[in-house]
């Protein structure tokens, strides 16, 4: 999985590269990531919430079907 809890990354080449590698993505839910990911291509969280980021990581860890589904 690829986790990028950014607050202002914008168009993230690292996220595009992770998607190209077929990794499931966890990233910020702010509009600055809208050009790169959507709700169907990533788990989007409040990056300022350690709890949300942690829960998203656990969700992917415990759900192989979800890992296979993301990022596409």
For residues 32 and 50, what is the distance between their CA atoms, to the nearest angstrom? 19
The model's pTM is 0.87
For residues 8 and 21, what is the distance between their CA atoms, to the nearest angstrom? 23
Tell me the mean pLDDT in the region 28-48.
Answer: 89
Indicate the number of domains in the chain: 1
Q: How confident is the model at residue 31 (pLDDT cuts 50, 70, 90)?
A: confident
Q: Does the pLDDT at position 52 exceed 90?
A: yes
Q: What is the pLDDT of residue 69?
A: 85
Q: Does the pLDDT at position 2 exceed 70?
A: yes
Tell me the mean pLDDT in the region 3-27.
Answer: 89
For residue 53, the enclosing domain spans 2-69
Burial label for 17, CB within 10 Å (0-12, 13-18, 19+), is: exposed
Tell me the mean pLDDT in the region 32-43.
Answer: 87
């Amino acid at each position: 999985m690829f986790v990028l809890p950014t607050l202002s990354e914008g168009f993230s080449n690292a996220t595009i590269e992770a998607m190209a590698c077929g990794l499931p993505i966890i990233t910020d839910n702010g509009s600055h990531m809208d050009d790169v990911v959507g709700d169907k291509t990533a788990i989007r969280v409040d990056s300022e919430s350690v709890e949300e980021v942690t829960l998203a990581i656990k969700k992917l860890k415990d759900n192989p079907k979800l890992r296979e589904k993301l990022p596409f």
